[in-house]
Amino acid sequence: MGWTLTPLSVVVFVSGAVSLAVAVAALRERPDPMAWPLAVMMIASAGWSIPHAISFGFTDIDQVSVFIRILSVSAPIAPVAYLVVAMKYAGYGRYLHRWVYALLLAVPFGTAVTVWTNDAHHLYWRSATVEQVGNASVYVSEAGPWYWITFAYGYSLLAISFIILGAVAINSDRIYRKQAVLMFVAGFIPALANIPVVLELDIAPPVDPTSSTLALSGVLFALALFRYDLLDLSPAAYRNVPDAFGDGMLVFDGEKRLVEANDHARRILDADLDIGMPADGVFDAPVEELDGTVVTTMEDIRRFYNVRYSPLSDHREAVIGHAVVMREVTELKDHEQRLSVTNRILRHNLRNELTIILGEADQLATADIDRTTSVERILEAGERLQDVSEKARHIQASMRFDDAALVSCDLVSVVESIVETYRGEFPEAEVSLDAPERAFVLASDDNALETAVRNVVENALQHNDSESPRAAVAVEVEDGAVRLSVADNGPGIPPAEQEILRDGHETQLEHGSSLGLWLVYWFVSAMGGKVSFADREPRGTVVTLTFRGSEEPPSEPAADPARRLAPKSVETD
The total of other beta-carbon atoms located within 10 Å of residue 515's CB is 26
CB-based contact 197:204 (threshold 8 Å): yes
User: How many structural domains comprise the chain?
Assistant: 3
In a shared domain, residues 142 and 256: no
Above 70 in pLDDT, residue 342?
no
pLDDT per residue as tens digits for the range 242-271? 444 457 788 887 778 887 787 778 777 777
Strand locations in 291-380 (E): 291-298, 301-313, 319-328
pLDDT at 495: 73
pLDDT at 108: 95
Domain membership of residue 512 (yes or no) is: yes
Instruction: Place 22 in a pLDDT band, splitting at 50, 70 and 90.
Output: confident
Range of the domain at 250: 235-328
pLDDT at 232: 43
Taken in order 211, 216, 217, 219, is the CA torsion positive or negative? positive
Q: Please tell me whether the peptide bond between 538 and the residue prior to it is cis, using omega within 30 degrees of 0.
A: yes
Determine the average pLDDT of the residues in 285-304: 67
488: left (phi over 0), alpha (psi -120 to 50) or beta: beta
pLDDT per residue as tens digits for the range 151-209? 999 999 999 999 998 888 887 666 567 778 888 998 999 998 888 888 877 776 778 88
Beta bridge partners of 470: 430
pLDDT at 102: 95
Taken in order 225, 231, 232, 234, is the CA torsion positive or negative? positive
CB-based contact 496:512 (threshold 8 Å): yes
In a shared domain, residues 204 and 292: no
Above 50 in pLDDT, residue 240?
no
Sorted by sequence, the CB contacts under 8 Å of residue 125 that are 6+ apart come out as 118, 141, 142, 143, 144, 147
pLDDT at 565: 38
Q: Which of the two residues, 402 and 455, has the higher pLDDT score?
A: 455
Above 60 in pLDDT, residue 52?
yes
pLDDT at 38: 84
Most confident range (mean pLDDT) of 60-69, 359-368, 496-505 is 60-69
Q: Which of the two residues, 283 and 502, has the higher pLDDT score?
A: 283
pLDDT at 318: 64
Distances (CA, A) of 317 to 10, 46, 346: 46, 35, 53
CB-based contact 484:541 (threshold 8 Å): no
pLDDT at 512: 39
Please state, in angstroms and rounded to a whole number, the distance separating the CA atoms of residues 282 and 358. 60
pLDDT at 484: 94
Above 70 in pLDDT, residue 294?
no
pLDDT at 118: 94
Q: Which of 271, 297, 328 is the last residue of a domain?
A: 328
Q: Which of the two residues, 24 and 177, has the higher pLDDT score?
A: 24
In a shared domain, residues 448 and 301: no
Q: Which of the two residues, 240 and 386, has the higher pLDDT score?
A: 386
Determine the average pLDDT of the residues in 217-229: 72
What is the CATH number for 24?
1.20.1070.10
Domain membership of residue 353 (yes or no) is: no
In a shared domain, residues 429 and 478: yes
- CA 123 to centroid of chain Cα atoms: 59
Distances (CA, A) of 296 to 284, 334, 567: 15, 15, 37
Counting residues of the chain whose pLDDT is more than 90, the rounded percentage is 23
In a shared domain, residues 176 and 288: no
Determine the average pLDDT of the residues in 15-37: 79
pLDDT at 1: 58
In a shared domain, residues 173 and 266: no
What is the CATH number for 295?
3.30.450.20
Domain membership of residue 303 (yes or no) is: yes
35 exposure class (CB count in 10 Å sphere: 0-12, 13-18, 19+): buried
Domain membership of residue 375 (yes or no) is: no
Most confident range (mean pLDDT) of 8-17, 193-202, 386-395 is 8-17
Please state, in angstroms and rounded to a whole number, the distance separating the CA atoms of residues 8 and 212. 10
In a shared domain, residues 70 and 163: yes
Domain membership of residue 307 (yes or no) is: yes
Q: Which of 200, 227, 254 is the last residue of a domain?
A: 227
Determine the average pLDDT of the residues in 456-480: 88
Please state, in angstroms and rounded to a whole number, the distance separating the CA atoms of residues 19 and 32. 18
pLDDT at 384: 65
Beta bridge partners of 306: 293, 327
CB-based contact 48:89 (threshold 8 Å): no
Instruction: Look at 177-186, 310-319, 458-467 and tell me which has the smallest mean pLDDT.
Output: 310-319
In a shared domain, residues 480 and 533: yes
Instruction: Look at 166-180, 415-429, 462-476, 548-562 and tell me which has the smallest mean pLDDT.
Output: 548-562
Q: Which of the two residues, 132 and 342, has the higher pLDDT score?
A: 132
In a shared domain, residues 91 and 211: yes
pLDDT at 161: 93
Above 50 in pLDDT, residue 231?
no
Above 60 in pLDDT, residue 426?
yes
The total of other beta-carbon atoms located within 10 Å of residue 227's CB is 12
Domain membership of residue 380 (yes or no) is: no
The total of other beta-carbon atoms located within 10 Å of residue 60's CB is 12
Instruction: Place 508 in a pLDDT band, splitting at 50, 70 and 90.
Output: very low
Helix axes 174-198, 145-171, angle to 10 degrees: 160
Q: Which of 305, 328, 351 is the last residue of a domain?
A: 328
Above 80 in pLDDT, residue 387?
no
Domain membership of residue 456 (yes or no) is: yes
In a shared domain, residues 85 and 185: yes
pLDDT at 559: 47
Determine the average pLDDT of the residues in 33-42: 83
Determine the average pLDDT of the residues in 23-27: 83
pLDDT at 275: 77
In this structure, are strands 481-488 and 541-548 parallel, antiparallel, or unpaired?
antiparallel
Above 70 in pLDDT, residue 312?
yes
Instruction: Look at 403-412, 413-422, 457-466 and tell me which has the smallest mean pLDDT.
Output: 403-412
CB-based contact 183:189 (threshold 8 Å): no
Instruction: Place 333 in a pLDDT band, splitting at 50, 70 and 90.
Output: low
Above 50 in pLDDT, residue 273?
yes
Domain membership of residue 54 (yes or no) is: yes
pLDDT at 338: 59
Please state, in angstroms and rounded to a whole number, the distance separating the CA atoms of residues 105 and 96. 12
pLDDT at 488: 92
pLDDT per residue as tens digits for the range 541-560? 899 999 988 876 644 544 44
Sheet with 319-328, edge to edge strand ranges: 258-261, 247-253, 319-328, 301-313, 291-298
In a shared domain, residues 202 and 55: yes
pLDDT per residue as tens digits for the range 394-411? 555 544 555 556 888 899
pLDDT at 558: 47
Above 90 in pLDDT, residue 284?
no
pLDDT at 306: 76
- CA 314 to centroid of chain Cα atoms: 21
- Give the mean pLDDT of the chain: 77
What is the CATH number for 436?
3.30.565.10
Phi, psi values for residue 399, rounded to 5°:
-75, -15
Please state, in angstroms and rounded to a whole number, the distance separating the CA atoms of residues 338 and 399. 9
pLDDT at 121: 94
In a shared domain, residues 318 and 436: no
